Amino acid sequence: MNTQELKQGFKDSFPIILGYLPLGFTFGVLARDAGLSLLQAVAMSVLCFTGAGQFIAAGMFKAGGSLIAIILTNLLVNLRYALFAASTVPYLRERIPPALAAALSYGLTDEVYAVSMNRYRRHPAATPYLAALVACSHLGWIGSTLAGALLGSFISSTDRLGLNFALPAMYISLLIILLRRRSHIYAALAAACTALLVGQLFPSTMANKFNIIAATLVGATLGVIWDERR
Amino acid sequence: MNAADAWLMIFGVALVSLAPRILPVAIFSRRKMPPWLEKWLSYVAPAVLGALAAVSILAPNGSLELSRENLYLWAALPTFAAGLITRSIFLTLLVGIAVMAALFHLLG
Protein backbone atom coordinates (compact mmCIF):
# COMPACT_ATOMS: atom_id res chain seq x y z
CA MET A 1 0.00 0.00 0.00
CA ASN A 2 1.38 3.34 -1.06
CA THR A 3 1.14 5.58 2.01
CA GLN A 4 2.05 8.68 0.02
CA GLU A 5 -1.10 8.25 -2.07
CA LEU A 6 -3.12 7.53 1.05
CA LYS A 7 -1.91 10.72 2.73
CA GLN A 8 -2.62 12.78 -0.36
CA GLY A 9 -6.15 11.38 -0.41
CA PHE A 10 -6.64 12.45 3.22
CA LYS A 11 -5.22 15.89 2.47
CA ASP A 12 -7.33 16.46 -0.61
CA SER A 13 -10.49 15.52 1.26
CA PHE A 14 -10.04 18.44 3.66
CA PRO A 15 -11.53 21.16 1.44
CA ILE A 16 -14.40 18.82 0.59
CA ILE A 17 -15.15 18.19 4.27
CA LEU A 18 -15.07 21.93 4.96
CA GLY A 19 -17.66 22.38 2.23
CA TYR A 20 -19.80 19.53 3.56
CA LEU A 21 -19.92 20.79 7.15
CA PRO A 22 -22.67 23.39 6.64
CA LEU A 23 -24.49 21.27 4.04
CA GLY A 24 -24.50 18.05 6.07
CA PHE A 25 -25.43 19.99 9.18
CA THR A 26 -28.35 21.62 7.39
CA PHE A 27 -29.47 18.24 6.07
CA GLY A 28 -29.40 16.83 9.62
CA VAL A 29 -31.62 19.68 10.82
CA LEU A 30 -34.01 19.37 7.86
CA ALA A 31 -34.26 15.58 8.15
CA ARG A 32 -35.33 15.78 11.81
CA ASP A 33 -37.72 18.56 10.94
CA ALA A 34 -39.18 16.36 8.16
CA GLY A 35 -39.96 13.66 10.72
CA LEU A 36 -37.01 11.29 10.28
CA SER A 37 -35.47 9.82 13.43
CA LEU A 38 -31.86 10.53 14.38
CA LEU A 39 -30.92 7.05 13.15
CA GLN A 40 -32.78 7.53 9.87
CA ALA A 41 -31.17 10.91 9.23
CA VAL A 42 -27.70 9.51 9.73
CA ALA A 43 -28.52 6.29 7.85
CA MET A 44 -29.59 8.36 4.89
CA SER A 45 -26.20 10.09 4.76
CA VAL A 46 -24.46 6.72 5.16
CA LEU A 47 -26.45 4.95 2.45
CA CYS A 48 -27.19 7.69 -0.08
CA PHE A 49 -24.31 10.23 0.05
CA THR A 50 -26.02 12.58 -2.37
CA GLY A 51 -26.34 16.21 -1.28
CA ALA A 52 -29.11 17.61 -3.45
CA GLY A 53 -30.91 14.27 -3.60
CA GLN A 54 -31.16 13.98 0.18
CA PHE A 55 -32.43 17.55 0.55
CA ILE A 56 -35.10 16.91 -2.07
CA ALA A 57 -36.07 13.59 -0.47
CA ALA A 58 -36.41 15.16 3.00
CA GLY A 59 -38.45 18.03 1.56
CA MET A 60 -40.79 15.73 -0.37
CA PHE A 61 -41.08 13.38 2.61
CA LYS A 62 -42.17 16.26 4.83
CA ALA A 63 -44.68 17.42 2.21
CA GLY A 64 -46.15 13.90 2.13
CA GLY A 65 -44.88 13.04 -1.34
CA SER A 66 -45.33 9.45 -2.52
CA LEU A 67 -42.48 6.99 -2.23
CA ILE A 68 -42.38 6.44 -6.00
CA ALA A 69 -42.24 10.20 -6.69
CA ILE A 70 -39.40 10.69 -4.21
CA ILE A 71 -37.34 7.83 -5.65
CA LEU A 72 -37.98 8.79 -9.31
CA THR A 73 -37.05 12.42 -8.62
CA ASN A 74 -33.85 11.23 -7.00
CA LEU A 75 -33.06 9.02 -9.96
CA LEU A 76 -33.32 12.06 -12.24
CA VAL A 77 -31.27 14.22 -9.88
CA ASN A 78 -28.54 11.60 -9.75
CA LEU A 79 -28.35 10.87 -13.48
CA ARG A 80 -25.53 13.40 -13.83
CA TYR A 81 -23.37 11.09 -11.75
CA ALA A 82 -23.50 8.55 -14.59
CA LEU A 83 -21.76 11.08 -16.83
CA PHE A 84 -19.15 11.83 -14.16
CA ALA A 85 -18.52 8.17 -13.47
CA ALA A 86 -18.11 7.32 -17.17
CA SER A 87 -15.64 10.18 -17.62
CA THR A 88 -13.37 8.84 -14.84
CA VAL A 89 -13.05 5.42 -16.48
CA PRO A 90 -10.18 6.29 -18.89
CA TYR A 91 -8.11 7.35 -15.85
CA LEU A 92 -9.01 4.37 -13.69
CA ARG A 93 -8.48 1.73 -16.38
CA GLU A 94 -5.40 -0.41 -15.69
CA ARG A 95 -4.68 1.59 -12.54
CA ILE A 96 -7.45 0.32 -10.25
CA PRO A 97 -8.95 -3.19 -10.61
CA PRO A 98 -12.39 -2.92 -12.30
CA ALA A 99 -14.45 -4.31 -9.39
CA LEU A 100 -12.69 -2.05 -6.89
CA ALA A 101 -12.97 0.97 -9.20
CA ALA A 102 -16.72 0.39 -9.50
CA ALA A 103 -17.12 -0.08 -5.74
CA LEU A 104 -15.16 3.08 -4.87
CA SER A 105 -17.17 5.07 -7.40
CA TYR A 106 -20.12 4.87 -4.99
CA GLY A 107 -18.66 8.01 -3.41
CA LEU A 108 -18.33 10.06 -6.59
CA THR A 109 -20.17 13.21 -5.52
CA ASP A 110 -19.78 16.50 -7.43
CA GLU A 111 -16.90 17.47 -5.17
CA VAL A 112 -15.11 14.11 -5.00
CA TYR A 113 -15.40 13.91 -8.78
CA ALA A 114 -13.88 17.34 -9.36
CA VAL A 115 -11.03 16.88 -6.88
CA SER A 116 -10.12 13.42 -8.19
CA MET A 117 -10.24 14.53 -11.85
CA ASN A 118 -7.92 17.37 -10.95
CA ARG A 119 -5.56 14.86 -9.36
CA TYR A 120 -5.64 12.53 -12.39
CA ARG A 121 -4.53 15.33 -14.69
CA ARG A 122 -1.08 15.21 -13.15
CA HIS A 123 -0.86 11.91 -11.27
CA PRO A 124 -2.02 8.46 -12.29
CA ALA A 125 -5.05 7.17 -10.38
CA ALA A 126 -4.30 4.93 -7.41
CA THR A 127 -6.52 2.84 -5.15
CA PRO A 128 -5.25 4.25 -1.80
CA TYR A 129 -5.75 7.83 -3.00
CA LEU A 130 -9.32 7.31 -4.17
CA ALA A 131 -10.21 5.17 -1.15
CA ALA A 132 -8.94 7.79 1.32
CA LEU A 133 -10.59 10.65 -0.58
CA VAL A 134 -13.97 8.89 -0.74
CA ALA A 135 -13.88 7.54 2.83
CA CYS A 136 -12.88 10.85 4.45
CA SER A 137 -15.36 12.89 2.42
CA HIS A 138 -18.13 10.43 3.28
CA LEU A 139 -17.22 10.46 6.98
CA GLY A 140 -17.32 14.26 6.89
CA TRP A 141 -20.79 14.12 5.35
CA ILE A 142 -22.02 11.58 7.93
CA GLY A 143 -20.45 13.44 10.87
CA SER A 144 -21.92 16.79 9.90
CA THR A 145 -25.34 15.16 9.41
CA LEU A 146 -25.12 13.67 12.90
CA ALA A 147 -24.12 17.06 14.33
CA GLY A 148 -27.03 18.77 12.59
CA ALA A 149 -29.53 16.11 13.66
CA LEU A 150 -28.32 16.34 17.28
CA LEU A 151 -27.61 20.04 17.72
CA GLY A 152 -29.85 21.58 15.09
CA SER A 153 -32.10 23.31 17.59
CA PHE A 154 -29.20 25.01 19.39
CA ILE A 155 -27.37 26.65 16.52
CA SER A 156 -29.04 29.39 14.54
CA SER A 157 -26.92 29.79 11.43
CA THR A 158 -23.57 28.82 9.96
CA ASP A 159 -23.84 31.70 7.48
CA ARG A 160 -22.11 34.05 9.91
CA LEU A 161 -19.00 31.88 9.66
CA GLY A 162 -18.88 32.27 5.89
CA LEU A 163 -19.25 28.51 5.51
CA ASN A 164 -22.13 28.99 3.09
CA PHE A 165 -19.48 30.09 0.60
CA ALA A 166 -17.30 26.98 1.05
CA LEU A 167 -18.80 25.04 -1.87
CA PRO A 168 -18.97 28.00 -4.30
CA ALA A 169 -15.33 28.78 -3.43
CA MET A 170 -14.38 25.17 -4.08
CA TYR A 171 -16.19 25.16 -7.43
CA ILE A 172 -14.30 28.34 -8.39
CA SER A 173 -10.88 26.95 -7.49
CA LEU A 174 -11.55 23.60 -9.18
CA LEU A 175 -12.85 25.35 -12.27
CA ILE A 176 -9.68 27.46 -12.52
CA ILE A 177 -7.48 24.40 -12.11
CA LEU A 178 -9.41 22.27 -14.61
CA LEU A 179 -9.32 24.84 -17.42
CA ARG A 180 -6.17 23.87 -19.29
CA ARG A 181 -7.04 24.66 -22.89
CA ARG A 182 -9.01 27.31 -24.69
CA SER A 183 -11.64 24.74 -25.64
CA HIS A 184 -12.13 23.92 -21.92
CA ILE A 185 -12.88 27.58 -21.25
CA TYR A 186 -15.50 27.64 -24.00
CA ALA A 187 -17.05 24.43 -22.67
CA ALA A 188 -17.23 25.91 -19.14
CA LEU A 189 -18.67 29.22 -20.34
CA ALA A 190 -21.27 27.52 -22.53
CA ALA A 191 -22.24 25.26 -19.61
CA ALA A 192 -22.45 28.21 -17.20
CA CYS A 193 -24.80 30.11 -19.54
CA THR A 194 -26.90 27.01 -20.24
CA ALA A 195 -27.27 26.16 -16.55
CA LEU A 196 -28.45 29.69 -15.71
CA LEU A 197 -30.71 29.99 -18.75
CA VAL A 198 -32.39 26.60 -18.30
CA GLY A 199 -32.68 27.20 -14.54
CA GLN A 200 -34.28 30.58 -15.10
CA LEU A 201 -36.70 29.36 -17.79
CA PHE A 202 -37.65 26.21 -15.87
CA PRO A 203 -37.22 27.02 -12.16
CA SER A 204 -37.82 23.44 -11.03
CA THR A 205 -34.59 22.41 -12.77
CA MET A 206 -32.59 24.55 -10.32
CA ALA A 207 -33.72 22.27 -7.50
CA ASN A 208 -33.61 18.94 -9.33
CA LYS A 209 -30.29 19.76 -11.06
CA PHE A 210 -31.62 19.10 -14.53
CA ASN A 211 -30.11 22.40 -15.54
CA ILE A 212 -26.68 20.99 -14.65
CA ILE A 213 -27.28 17.93 -16.84
CA ALA A 214 -28.43 20.11 -19.76
CA ALA A 215 -25.43 22.39 -19.22
CA THR A 216 -23.02 19.45 -19.20
CA LEU A 217 -24.41 18.06 -22.47
CA VAL A 218 -24.28 21.47 -24.20
CA GLY A 219 -20.91 22.52 -22.75
CA ALA A 220 -19.07 19.26 -23.46
CA THR A 221 -20.48 19.03 -26.99
CA LEU A 222 -19.53 22.63 -27.84
CA GLY A 223 -16.07 22.05 -26.33
CA VAL A 224 -15.49 19.08 -28.63
CA ILE A 225 -16.83 20.97 -31.66
CA TRP A 226 -14.53 23.91 -30.90
CA ASP A 227 -11.59 21.56 -30.49
CA GLU A 228 -12.28 19.80 -33.83
CA ARG A 229 -12.63 23.05 -35.78
CA ARG A 230 -9.20 24.35 -34.87
CA MET B 1 -45.75 8.45 6.23
CA ASN B 2 -44.61 6.15 9.01
CA ALA B 3 -41.21 4.83 10.05
CA ALA B 4 -41.39 1.83 7.70
CA ASP B 5 -42.09 4.18 4.78
CA ALA B 6 -39.12 6.30 5.81
CA TRP B 7 -36.84 3.27 5.69
CA LEU B 8 -38.24 2.25 2.29
CA MET B 9 -37.57 5.78 1.06
CA ILE B 10 -34.00 5.68 2.38
CA PHE B 11 -33.23 2.35 0.70
CA GLY B 12 -34.90 3.43 -2.54
CA VAL B 13 -32.99 6.72 -2.64
CA ALA B 14 -29.77 4.86 -1.82
CA LEU B 15 -30.31 2.56 -4.81
CA VAL B 16 -30.90 5.38 -7.31
CA SER B 17 -28.06 7.47 -5.84
CA LEU B 18 -25.36 4.84 -5.96
CA ALA B 19 -26.29 2.87 -9.10
CA PRO B 20 -25.66 5.77 -11.52
CA ARG B 21 -22.13 6.11 -10.11
CA ILE B 22 -21.21 2.42 -9.85
CA LEU B 23 -22.75 0.97 -13.03
CA PRO B 24 -20.99 3.14 -15.66
CA VAL B 25 -17.61 2.32 -14.12
CA ALA B 26 -18.48 -1.37 -13.90
CA ILE B 27 -19.65 -1.42 -17.53
CA PHE B 28 -16.91 0.64 -19.18
CA SER B 29 -13.99 -0.75 -17.16
CA ARG B 30 -14.29 -4.02 -18.99
CA ARG B 31 -14.78 -2.87 -22.57
CA LYS B 32 -13.13 -0.34 -24.80
CA MET B 33 -14.72 3.06 -25.09
CA PRO B 34 -14.98 4.60 -28.58
CA PRO B 35 -12.40 7.43 -28.96
CA TRP B 36 -15.06 10.08 -29.69
CA LEU B 37 -16.84 9.20 -26.45
CA GLU B 38 -13.60 9.37 -24.50
CA LYS B 39 -12.90 12.80 -25.98
CA TRP B 40 -16.41 14.05 -25.25
CA LEU B 41 -16.21 12.79 -21.66
CA SER B 42 -12.94 14.73 -21.19
CA TYR B 43 -15.03 17.90 -21.50
CA VAL B 44 -17.55 16.84 -18.85
CA ALA B 45 -15.46 18.06 -15.90
CA PRO B 46 -14.86 21.64 -17.16
CA ALA B 47 -18.52 21.87 -18.21
CA VAL B 48 -19.90 20.61 -14.88
CA LEU B 49 -17.65 22.91 -12.83
CA GLY B 50 -18.55 25.89 -15.04
CA ALA B 51 -22.24 25.18 -14.48
CA LEU B 52 -21.94 24.54 -10.74
CA ALA B 53 -19.81 27.64 -10.15
CA ALA B 54 -22.13 29.88 -12.16
CA VAL B 55 -25.29 28.63 -10.44
CA SER B 56 -23.83 28.74 -6.92
CA ILE B 57 -22.66 32.36 -7.37
CA LEU B 58 -25.26 33.94 -9.65
CA ALA B 59 -28.30 32.00 -8.42
CA PRO B 60 -27.40 31.07 -4.82
CA ASN B 61 -31.03 30.79 -3.75
CA GLY B 62 -32.48 29.09 -6.77
CA SER B 63 -33.03 32.05 -9.10
CA LEU B 64 -30.82 34.54 -10.90
CA GLU B 65 -29.64 37.36 -8.60
CA LEU B 66 -27.68 39.90 -10.61
CA SER B 67 -27.91 42.61 -7.96
CA ARG B 68 -25.54 44.42 -5.63
CA GLU B 69 -27.24 42.67 -2.71
CA ASN B 70 -25.97 39.28 -3.86
CA LEU B 71 -23.10 38.69 -1.41
CA TYR B 72 -22.05 35.56 -3.30
CA LEU B 73 -21.22 37.70 -6.31
CA TRP B 74 -18.99 40.00 -4.25
CA ALA B 75 -17.30 37.14 -2.45
CA ALA B 76 -16.63 35.42 -5.78
CA LEU B 77 -14.37 38.22 -7.08
CA PRO B 78 -11.53 37.94 -4.50
CA THR B 79 -12.02 34.16 -4.51
CA PHE B 80 -11.41 34.07 -8.27
CA ALA B 81 -8.30 36.20 -7.79
CA ALA B 82 -7.06 33.91 -5.01
CA GLY B 83 -7.65 30.86 -7.22
CA LEU B 84 -5.74 32.34 -10.15
CA ILE B 85 -2.82 33.43 -7.96
CA THR B 86 -2.46 30.50 -5.55
CA ARG B 87 -3.82 27.61 -7.68
CA SER B 88 -4.51 25.95 -4.33
CA ILE B 89 -7.98 24.63 -3.51
CA PHE B 90 -7.41 25.01 0.20
CA LEU B 91 -6.12 28.61 0.13
CA THR B 92 -8.87 29.63 -2.30
CA LEU B 93 -11.43 28.10 0.02
CA LEU B 94 -10.03 29.97 3.04
CA VAL B 95 -10.08 33.29 1.19
CA GLY B 96 -13.65 32.69 0.02
CA ILE B 97 -14.92 31.75 3.49
CA ALA B 98 -13.11 34.66 5.20
CA VAL B 99 -14.42 37.18 2.67
CA MET B 100 -17.96 35.82 2.97
CA ALA B 101 -17.85 35.96 6.78
CA ALA B 102 -16.56 39.57 6.61
CA LEU B 103 -19.26 40.56 4.10
CA PHE B 104 -21.93 38.93 6.26
CA HIS B 105 -20.89 40.96 9.30
CA LEU B 106 -20.39 44.23 7.40
CA LEU B 107 -23.45 44.14 5.15
CA GLY B 108 -25.58 41.11 6.01
Q: Which domain holds residue B71?
A: 34-106
Does the pLDDT value for residue A228 go beyond 80? yes
Does the pLDDT value for residue B61 go beyond 70? yes
Distance from CA of A121 to the nearest CA of B (A): 11
Could you tell me the pTM of the whole model? 0.82
Q: Are B39 and B72 found together in one domain?
A: yes
pLDDT of residue A65: 81
Q: Please, are residues B44 and B29 in contact by the beta-carbon 8 Å criterion?
A: no
Q: For chain A, what percent of residues have pLDDT higher than 70?
A: 97
Residue among B40, B31, B51, B105 nearest B75 (CA): B105
Q: Are B17 and B57 found together in one domain?
A: no
**Contact list, A230 vs chain B (CB under 8 Å):** none
Which segment of A164-168, A191-195, B17-21 scores lowest on mean pLDDT? A164-168
Q: Are B4 and B40 found together in one domain?
A: no
Distance from CA of B67 to the nearest CA of A (A): 15
Work out the number of other CB atoms within 10 angstroms of the CB of residue B11.
Answer: 14
**Does the CB of A194 have a partner CB in chain B at under 8 Å?**
yes
Q: Which whole number is the average pLDDT over B60-71?
A: 91
Nearest to A74 among B17, B82, B103 (CB): B17
pLDDT of residue A230: 75
Nearest to B9 among A70, A164, A177 (CB): A70
Work out the number of other CB atoms within 10 angstroms of the CB of residue A96.
Answer: 25
- Determine, for residues A43 and B10 on separate chains, whether the beta-carbon distance falls below 8 Å: yes
Nearest to B47 among A81, A93, A188 (CB): A188
pLDDT of residue A157: 66
Domain ranges, ordered by start, for chain A: 3-161, 179-230
Domains in chain B, number: 2
Which segment of A108-112, A156-160, A169-173, A176-180 scores lowest on mean pLDDT? A156-160
Torsion angle (degrees, nearest 10) of CA A49, A125, A226, A201: 0
Average pLDDT of every residue of chain A: 91
Which segment of A96-105, A193-202, B29-38 scores lowest on mean pLDDT? B29-38
Q: Are B52 and B100 found together in one domain?
A: yes
The alpha-helical segments, DSSP class H, found in chain A are 3-33, 38-47, 51-62, 67-92, 98-104, 110-122, 127-151, 166-178, 182-201, 204-208, 210-229
Q: Are B92 and B43 found together in one domain?
A: yes
